[in-house]
Amino acid sequence: MPKQVLLDHPTIDETDIQGDVLVGMQKAAEIFVFFAIKDVAQFKRDLKQLIPTIATTELTRKYEAAVNAKSAGQPFHSADLAPVLKINIAFSAKGISKLGLSHAGADPSFEAGMEAGAAQLGDTVGDYAAIYRGQQIDGVFMVAFWDKNIDHAETESLNSVSALLGQFELSGMAEVGREIGSLNRAKPGHEVFGFADGVSQPAVAGLHKPVANDDQSLPGQDIVALGDFVLGPYDRGTGDKATPPQPWMNNGSYLVFRRLRQDVAGFDHYTQSQFHGFADSGDAFAAKLVGRWKDGSPLARDPLRPNPAHDETKFTENNDFEFGVQKVAQTRCPFDAHIRRVYPRSDVQDGPGNAEHKRILRAGIAFDHTNTLGGDQGLLFACYQSSIVDKFQFIQTFWANADSIPFEPPYVAGLDGTMPAHPGIDLIIGQAAVRGASWDGNKVLQNVPKFVTATGGEYFFSPSISGLNALAA
Ligand code: N7H
């Protein structure tokens, strides 16, 4: 979309920012180990030992560059593609307090923790697993492993977690609980409803060059200010700076972690049995709820059927769209489609509150424990940003949960130019009691079941390497 006012392209210290923040740790499996700090002095000693092994942006970026070069048939260093274990670490506000550093002035939601803000997110604390209740978590280790063989990646990650805990658990910390994520074995690269995942991610100023045009790296991939993701002397899209409230927080980023259970059978049953009058088939109905077909092709470009020319592998095509003229109607992509609610693109006008300023860097992974009795499946959602209140929380609360549409006037909504009285919610992630939406031609969806339930989560801060050294001192 037409862009933010100005963007600097700052020099990024890739050796300082943890590797999961801007690029994402490449992974076929990832274990999140939540811990409580028991002995501060011992924990600091152990942390000091761990810091040199933390995967930095330099490492994840090298890997990404090698993958891209390989798929483009260009030369690359094979060593850069070797399966490597990657470890990152982040702390809750409580954990940082224990380590004795001030976080005064930090994001208010981070300060309070996710459980305290659950009602605002639309969550029911009773749905949260025990480890996410009662503020037990001081921090999280994220251990990721990439290998084509998912089982091998999971075994390697679990072995590394054991080694890591052996190192730390002597006296410094105790594991509170863990989550085991892996690529969807039934359909790698797809989340458990079956949709291609990781299709759209913002480009970052300083990391990605303007290629498609002055504002975009790949076509349709707008470049977002570094200060929208990382704290430091960096511009944010609003024109101010992402000044860290405390010096040690420089080059750090807030991590939102959410355990989201998905009712796959319920989603399939609903879409396949209730599509009549709303779409031509169950698959088309499911696509309208998401805004993309399962292969990743966007409804805004391909409203009638999936298009292999715009699928999950066609990165120069699959984000090259705006909702633009469709403001007058929902004939291609419903207003409430998940991707339109969480990133409304040109639906929201330019300015400080524009859609680019609300972007997040997603770094989650699927989980599936349905092979164990009573086990569930879903998404270990993770995202990075320089403000939880302004970005994740805003998206979930005001864009996904609210029975309204994020357009700013002047807008034209329905076919007759009026906004429906109840435009509805994001029917994928919206956590609201009244679950419906109004589509064009008086098509009103009502009592749509809840397919995604938050079963836990926490807010963290992912410090830079220098920040970690300060915490370990
Ligand atoms: Fe969403 N889904 O399978 O339906 N998401 N998401 N998400 N999501 C996206 O671009 C999904 C969740 C975003 O730039 C795709 O990777 C599911 C939360 C954003 O066009 C699909 C869950 C939040 C984007 C899904 C879930 C977001 C995005 C398209 C929960 C933030 C990029 C593929 C279980 C509050 C939008 C892709 C853009 C894309 C699904 C959670 C945000 C298929 C099932 C909690 C910003």
Q: What is the pTM of this model?
A: 0.95
Residue 421 has pLDDT above 70, yes or no: no
- What radius of gyration, in Å, describes the C-alpha atoms of the chain? 22
**Cβ–ligand 1 contact at 377 (below 6 Å):** no
Token pair, residue 323, equals: 């909702």
How many percent of the chain have pLDDT more than 90?
Answer: 72
Determine whether the shortest distance from the Cβ of 257 to ligand 1 is under 6 A. Answer: no
Give the sign of the dihedral formed by CA 385, CA 386, CA 388, CA 394: negative
* CA distance linking residue 253 with residue 269, whole number of Å: 39
CA distance 15 to 305: 44
Q: What are the distances in angstroms from CA 128 to CA 134, 180, 384?
A: 11, 17, 22
140 C-alpha to center of ligand 1: Å? Answer: 23
Cβ of 177 less than 6 Å from ligand 1: no
> Which residue from 184, 260, 381 has its CB within 8 A of the most atoms of ligand 1, so it is best to mutate?
381
Residues 264, 459, 225, 326, CA torsion sign: positive
**Range in 333-337, 389-393, 421-425 the model is least confident about:** 421-425
Q: Is it the case that residue 339 has pLDDT exceeding 50?
A: yes
pLDDT: which is higher, 439 or 374: 374
Range 324-352 burial, b when 16+ CB lie within 10 A, else e:
eebbebbebbbbbbbbbbbbbbbbbeeee
**412 pLDDT more than 50:** no
Peptide bond into 410 cis (omega under 30): yes
Q: What is the pLDDT of residue 2?
A: 44
Residue nearest to atom 20 of ligand 1 (CA): 339
In the prediction, which pLDDT does 326 show?
A: 57
428 lines ligand 1 (CB under 6 A): yes
36-91 pLDDT tens trace: 999 999 999 999 999 999 999 999 999 888 888 887 788 888 777 777 789 999 99
Range in 244-253, 323-332, 362-371 the model is least confident about: 323-332
* Token pair in block for residue 263: 């009712």
Task: Write down the pLDDT at residue 85.
Answer: 86
CA of 358 to the centre of ligand 1 (A): 14
pLDDT tens-digit map of 262-293 = 999 999 999 999 999 899 999 999 999 999 99
Minimal-distance CA residue to ligand 1 atom 43 = 195
Structure tokens at 196: 């291609």
Which residue shows structure tokens 């009573």? 374
The protein residue whose alpha carbon is closest to atom 24 in ligand 1 is 339
Residue whose structure tokens are 């709303």: 278
Separation of CA 402 and ligand 1 centre (Å): 17
pLDDT surpasses 50 at 301 = yes
Find the mean pLDDT for residues 457-472: 98
Q: Do 142 and 89 form a contact (C-beta atoms < 8 A)?
A: yes
Per residue in 179-197, pLDDT tens? 999 999 999 999 999 999 9
| Residue 312 in tokens | 């999950």
Mean pLDDT of 368-372: 94
What lies within 8 Å, CB to CB, of 281 at 6+ separation is 275
**pLDDT band (50, 70, 90) for residue 407:** low
pLDDT of residue 164: 87
The pLDDT, as a whole number, for residue 102 is: 98
The residue-averaged pLDDT of 210-229 equals 93
Over residues 113-122, the mean pLDDT reads: 97
**Residue 388 beta carbon below 6 angstroms from any ligand 1 atom:** no
Tell me the mean pLDDT in the region 30-34.
97
Name the 3-class secondary structure at 196: strand
User: What's the pLDDT at 68?
Assistant: 80
Pairing of strands 203-204, 223-224: parallel
Instruction: Grade residue 349 by pLDDT with cuts at 50, 70 and 90.
Output: low
pLDDT of 389 over the 50 cut:
yes
**How would you classify residue 221: left for phi > 0, otherwise alpha for psi between -120 and 50, otherwise beta?**
beta
Are 367 and 379 in contact by the 8 Å Cβ rule? The answer is yes
- In this prediction, residue 228 carries a pLDDT of 96
pLDDT over threshold 70, residue 325: no
Task: Give the pLDDT mean for 372-378.
Answer: 94
Q: Which atom of ligand 1 is nearest to the CA of 339?
A: 36
On the question of pLDDT at 417 being above 60, the answer is no
Q: What angle do CA 205, 206, 211 make, to 5 degrees?
A: 70
Round the average pLDDT of the chain to a whole number and report it. Answer: 90
Kindly state the helix (H) or strand (E) to which residue 124 belongs, with its residue range: none
pLDDT at 442: 65
Q: How far is the CA of 196 from the centre of ligand 1 (A)?
A: 10
Residue 415's pLDDT is 46
Residue with tokens 């403001």: 327
The tokens describing 378, both together, are: 């879903």
**Which residue owns the Cα nearest ligand 1 atom 39?**
339
- pLDDT tier at 413, thresholds 50, 70, 90: very low
Least confident of 135-139, 160-164, 308-312: 160-164
- Of 106, 100, 86, the closest CA to residue 23 belongs to 86
Is pLDDT larger for residue 374 or for residue 126? 126
Q: Calculate the CA 78 to chain-centre distance.
A: 29
By residue count, the chain amounts to 473
For the Cβ of 292 lying below 6 angstroms from any atom of ligand 1, the answer is yes
Tokens found for residue 358: 């609300």
Q: How many CA atoms lie within 13 A of 27 on its CB side?
A: 33
3-state secondary structure at position 57: helix
pLDDT at 328: 52
Which pLDDT does position 440 carry in this prediction?
66
